[in-house]
Structure 1
């Protein structure tokens, strides 16, 4: 069972056989009951998150999801967390030590940067940001405990050469963590490029229906040990209901991503010809400066990308956003529906925008008819002409 499309269907279904069903049962439990004292003691000899101990550390439903994520990621193990952000922050916090250094890629997810600049700094951790492998190479030293990247960055859609980053990390024996949510394991085989810890907001494509908060971290048992200890100590666990829904979402992940890709490439190509669009930030386009790197790293393109609109005032921008009917206004992505996220200045994910400057918005292209989405955008663009 080597093909990921087959793994998506068949992994994480061990408990289904016992219940004579296609899907594993949803097991909710606060208390795990053992048949005897020896079994109770044995549960505490096994790995946290992979051995039933107490409801908080996971029921069979949670462990089915973790085993499926590990399998499709070509990894030994997986830790499910309460949401994508807790997955990111648990990795950073687990490797944070006073007097040590963490190197983070510039333009990462806004809440990650906010956590690094406030919480990690208070712990006495030195946090430095880098834009490329040359800057990383000049910053890394024997005090570096973690390198953190995101591909592509969630608003500016920038790509970094992950292979070179991993090579630098390996040469210094420093673990490399990467937020790989955009590509999912279907389009981005993170561990093949030397990434030690791959982080996924399963909230997004993995679940795919905008009704679950869930995070996942995959890697080897060794690389995940510090994170496992941190999550156990701080009570960072995933709920069985979330894992059960995400397991259901996994079954159609490759099919949904194919449609997201088809729609996104079509609409991005259409947007290139629109005079109201000054720039497209989408590495899957041949015109993108990151296109060749995208081809090397990814086997497909996900639905989110950003556009820069022509300069407009606040009222024009508000009319543009409010006139869209098929694009909901929201900060997430990865569900079946199309979304638009304005990068307004007060937002954690925003860049500074002055009056009459070009406006940056992120689009998530959903599963609707692609021409209907273009027509919706076209009607909104007309408001900018007014």
Structure 2
């Protein structure tokens, strides 16, 4: 033990089960090393803490997951890290500073699904001396492998599609050979790792993940096409739709789509959104998508600084589960009928 020659010495440093999941994710991501942490949010905060310190600048896409922004504003800035945001369509070169150390990406954007050119952003970030991190939870490594596009650390909420049954909280960060040692060092210094039981359940989930995600994606796309023709829907926010503004970027970079997208209820506000959601019976109300069940909610976009939400109505975010598509259509029609009764 003094020579640290044994593969397993202390639970925090890893177990055969957690190592098996790390290796499986490395194979999926094409990464040199992966760490596991107790939640998707921890998979964001740990690498940010690992690579940022007082006096550094973090450049973050404005359509980022809300809790990511909260951590940046409440915790990172308190430690002396400068934080600024850019619109997904911006050329990040103009936003880079001499002290920019990390560029944080998410594509599609959280709740509004904006696309960005990942490889172009990574190239500009590296030219400015910054590391690139990306939240890849929406696409999963089945449909997009960030490291192949120049990203240094790929972040994933394993809580969602990999585990797949809404009964596990887990996150992962998969890194290049250059970034992994510092990432792993920070994980050990912070004292966070995953429980073997959670790792086992996620390994089990990986066995059916391709089949489940294919079904999620196909059902979501079928509903997205149907909703495009609905009189109460101003727009459908789904990157795989040809009508979506970022569709060309999606097709160039992604090999498939998953079950999460949004609709804009044309000319409507909070009252109509509440009536719509309250009328749903098959869809649950909830945040943590990626499980077997369909969910809906009205997202809060008030924290955006440049990538503001739509002005032509309110967004309803839909997570399409494994239920029958026709049953889901019938349930959504109940929501639209509830809006009609308000008029």
TM-score (norm 2): 0.93
> 1 CA distance for matches of 2:59 and 2:246?
22
Residue 74 of structure 1 and its aligned partner are, at CA, apart by 1.0
Is 1:82 the equivalent of 2:43?
Answer: no
Number of aligned residue pairs: give it: 339
Is 1:181 the equivalent of 2:137?
Answer: yes
Aligned equivalent of 2:3: 42
**In the alignment, which of 361, 380, 384 is matched to residue 316 of structure 2?**
361
Please say which of residues 167-176 and 66-75 is displaced more in the overlay.
167-176
Aligned equivalent of 2:330: 375
Residue 191 of structure 1 and its aligned partner are, at CA, apart by 1.0
Residue 86 of structure 1 and its aligned partner are, at CA, apart by 0.3
Residue 133 of structure 1 and its aligned partner are, at CA, apart by 6.6
Residue 132 of structure 1 and its aligned partner are, at CA, apart by 4.1
**In the alignment, which of 114, 122, 125 is matched to residue 166 of structure 1?**
122
Contact 1:99 1:124 in 2 (8 A): yes
Is 1:262 the equivalent of 2:262?
Answer: no
Structure 2: 5+ residue stretches without partners: none
Is 1:67 the equivalent of 2:28?
Answer: no
Contact 1:312 1:384 in 2 (8 A): no
Instruction: Report SS of the residue matched to 2:317.
Output: strand
Contact 2:270 2:314 in 1 (8 A): no
Aligned equivalent of 1:271: 227
Is 1:384 the equivalent of 2:343?
Answer: no
Residue 315 of structure 1 and its aligned partner are, at CA, apart by 4.4
Residue 220 of structure 1 and its aligned partner are, at CA, apart by 2.1
The 1:205/1:288 distance shift into structure 2, 3 A limit, reads same
Is 1:91 the equivalent of 2:51?
Answer: no
Deviations 1:297-351 (A, max 9, x none): 1100010001111334654432211111111100011111111022257899xx9
Aligned equivalent of 1:118: 74
Residue 140 of structure 1 and its aligned partner are, at CA, apart by 1.5
**In the alignment, which of 2, 5, 8 is matched to residue 52 of structure 1?**
8
Instruction: Report SS of the residue matched to 2:248.
Output: helix
> 1 CA distance for matches of 2:88 and 2:275?
38
Q: Give the RMSD, CA atoms, in angstroms.
A: 2.2
Aligned equivalent of 1:36: none
Higher radius of gyration, 1 or 2? 1
Structure 1: 5+ residue stretches without partners: 1-39
Larger RCO, structures 1/2 (Cα 8 Å, 6+ apart): 2
TM-score (norm 1): 0.83
